[in-house]
Structure 1
């Protein structure tokens, strides 16, 4: 009988070990299930709907968001195009040429200022100083050329503005 008792004892120990392993496995599964439910609540919320209904709802929201972003991008493209058109007519080329117009005054008191847009159109403003008087002229420029004949200093101011050259004082011819 002792072999029977030892067999029963051995079976009892093995059964307890299996029960302990099963209990540990059950605890692990319960913890994993709770984590899964917690994560599912974060995604779906506390509602009773299933994951496929939630996924379909998310897809509808993403499509609506995508359409909204496309609409915003289209409007921004239009605004950028308008801004670029307006910038083409802004002053983008300029220069100042100072000179002695009559060679009787020193200090280069006469000046021609060219203000042109990206199409090389704009104005040249000239102030010519003489001992007794000062004259002020504004001449229109279209495509880099004056609509009326320009003085050499005004031509120099336009040329310097177009080339981006920095001129300040030029000896009069």
Structure 2
């Protein structure tokens, strides 16, 4: 049996204080590690769920889900690409160039009531509409345009409407036939 500790300055007293301090450090360290382990397990549950899967099984499941998502995204991109191509094809047929030319068809001072309108698509094809006004009558003509050229002979005003439209500035004032400006 150990002799009683009467004095903390004796060897037995110093060893006892050191052992008590070491025990206290061990208890604090154990509590800190237990708290840290609890946080790690909570984080692990957040990632892995409540199941019994280990990290490798969970990673394999994530990989499988990622591959499925990647395949879905690739399919969606292919579908969208097809839709964009269809939309671009349709836009090629939409009116891309236009112009309006006003003029006096009969050289009268009638306020430039006659007009020629060019409506062309991206391939420079479309239609030219001409409305010729006279005092007692109005006539409307429509002529097909393919690749910037009329299928029938175009009047000078119709030709000018096509030319102004293809210059790309259909909103700019243009001179009409017989020296009149629009």
2:10 is paired with a residue of what secondary structure?
helix
- Which stretches in structure 1 are left out of the alignment for 5+ residues? none
2:98 and 2:161 map into 1 onto residues whose CA distance is 8
Where does residue 64 of structure 2 map in the other structure? 60
Where does residue 155 of structure 1 map in the other structure? 159
Where does residue 23 of structure 1 map in the other structure? 27
Is contact 2:118-2:129 (8 Å) kept? yes
In the superposition, the TM-score normalised over structure 2's length comes to: 0.90
Where does residue 9 of structure 1 map in the other structure? 13
- Map 1:38-77 onto structure 2 (within 5 A): 38-77=42-81
1:120 is paired with a residue of what secondary structure?
coil
1:3 and 1:113 map into 2 onto residues whose CA distance is 117
Q: CA deviation at 1:16?
A: 1.1
Compared with structure 1, are the counterparts of its residues 96 and 4 closer, same or farther at alpha carbon in structure 2 (3 Å cutoff)? closer
1:36 and 1:140 map into 2 onto residues whose CA distance is 77
- Which stretches in structure 2 are left out of the alignment for 5+ residues? none
Q: How many residues align?
A: 173
After superposition, the CA RMSD in angstroms is 1.7
In the superposition, the TM-score normalised over structure 1's length comes to: 0.94
